[in-house]
Amino acid sequence: MGVLDDKVAVVTGAARGIGRAVAEAYAGEGATVVVSDLDGESAARVADALGGGASSTACDVTDEEAVASLMDGAIERHGRLDVMVANAGVGRPRPLLEMDLEEWRSVTSVNLDGVFLCTRHAGRVMSAAGGGVIVNMCSITAFSGFPMLAHYAAAKAGVRSLTQTAAVELRDAGVRVNCVCPGFVGTDMVESSKPQFEEMLGLEDFDAAIEAKQGRYGTAEEVARLAVFLASERSAFSTGGAFTLDGGATASLL
């Protein structure tokens, strides 16, 4: 018996990394998962591996029609939509002065516009059905600046704010909206960015800097456990919250 038995959950960006771990944890807790990703083939493979009635949908979260049909499709296919995790995100470190508008928009369109569209359309469907839970993937960069991540951090601060407003607007409709704010997690996104951080920040060892700040890298599975808690009835009184898991990084000024 799981804490998400009989729930239907859409997870975006679920072909790899944190999204995939969330999809796996949800399935393990009894949910039927709609695995969504820009990469539809990989999403289909993840859904096949999950079993338990999981399905997949290719979706570009910056495309409003695609997002609307992702949420409507979950209802058509599985009869309901209880949980939506807006996880899809991108990150490419770049110094501010070298960041042109195109680069800025390429990150903010996925990380903020995408979360807006997913929140809006999941909120629409859930409100009509009498309730639901939205979990937005945020970041500790929502709370402070981070070198090379002007676009990413600004988008995440936007996600944090959007989560608050959505929580307040959707409360009477029975929809809870929270965000998860991880520190650095050992994922492909972080791994592939390390050389750029090291070069541009003049760091010999990015891992050592992370360990000093947060003890170690988090794991995608740890983020997924928090996403399970927030999706479950166990967090029924939480809405509009930002839930950090960062090994203490944001607790310290130093």
Partner 1 sequence: MEELEGRRALVTGGAQGLGRATAELLVARGARVMLADVDADAAEAAASEIGGEVAHAVRCDVTSAEEVAGAVEAAKEALGGLDTLVSNAGVEVAKPLVEHTEEEYDRLMAINVKGVWLGTKLATPALAESGRGAIVNMASVAGIGGAPLLGVYCASKAAVIQLTRVAAVELRDSGIRVNAVCPSFVGGDMVARMVEAFDDALPMSFDEAVAAKQARLGTAEEVAEMVAFLVSDDAAFVTGAHYVLDGGLTASGL
Catalytic residues: 152
Query: Shortest approach of partner 1 to residue 230 CB, angstroms?
Result: 10
Output b/e per residue, 159-186; b: 16+ Cβ within 10 A: bbebbbebbeebeeeebbbbbbbbbbbe
234 binds partner 1 (CB under 8 A): yes
117 binds partner 1 (CB under 8 A): no
- Which lies closer to partner 1 via its Cβ, residue 107 or residue 185? 185
2 binds partner 1 (CB under 8 A): no
Distance CA 184, CA 187 (A): 9
Burial class (CB in 10 A: 0-12, 13-18, 19+), 228: buried
Query: Shortest approach of partner 1 to residue 192 CB, angstroms?
Result: 21
245 binds partner 1 (CB under 8 A): yes
- Which lies closer to partner 1 via its Cβ, residue 35 or residue 228? 228
| 3-class secondary structure, 132 | strand
Contact present, 27 and 224 (Cβ < 8 Å): no
CA 4 to chain centre: 18
- Using CA atoms, how far residue 212 sits from 15, 206, 207, 216, in Å, is 31, 10, 9, 8
131 binds partner 1 (CB under 8 A): no
103 binds partner 1 (CB under 8 A): no
Q: How many CA atoms lie within 13 A of 159 on its CB side?
A: 38
Query: Shortest approach of partner 1 to residue 224 CB, angstroms?
Result: 9
144 binds partner 1 (CB under 8 A): no
- Which lies closer to partner 1 via its Cβ, residue 145 or residue 215? 215
Task: Please give the residues from 196 up to 225 whose contact with partner 1 meets the rule CB under 8 A.
Answer: 215, 218-219, 222-223, 225
106 binds partner 1 (CB under 8 A): no
187 binds partner 1 (CB under 8 A): no
Continuous H helices in 7-131: 17-28, 40-50, 64-78, 101-108, 114-129
Output b/e per residue, 106-124; b: 16+ Cβ within 10 A: ebbbbbbbbbbbbbbbbbb
Query: Shortest approach of partner 1 to residue 179 CB, angstroms?
Result: 10
127 binds partner 1 (CB under 8 A): no
User: Which of 67, 183, 187, 190 lies at the binding interface for partner 1 (CB under 8 A)?
Assistant: 183
Sheet holding 83-86, edge to edge: 55-58, 32-37, 8-11, 83-86, 132-137, 175-182, 242-245
Task: Please give the residues from 162 up to 181 whose contact with partner 1 meets the rule CB under 8 A.
Answer: 163-165, 167-168, 171-172
Query: Shortest approach of partner 1 to residue 167 CB, angstroms?
Result: 5
Which stretches of the chain bind partner 1, using CB under 8 A?
A: 163-165, 167-168, 171-172, 182-183, 215, 218-219, 222-223, 225-226, 228-229, 234-252
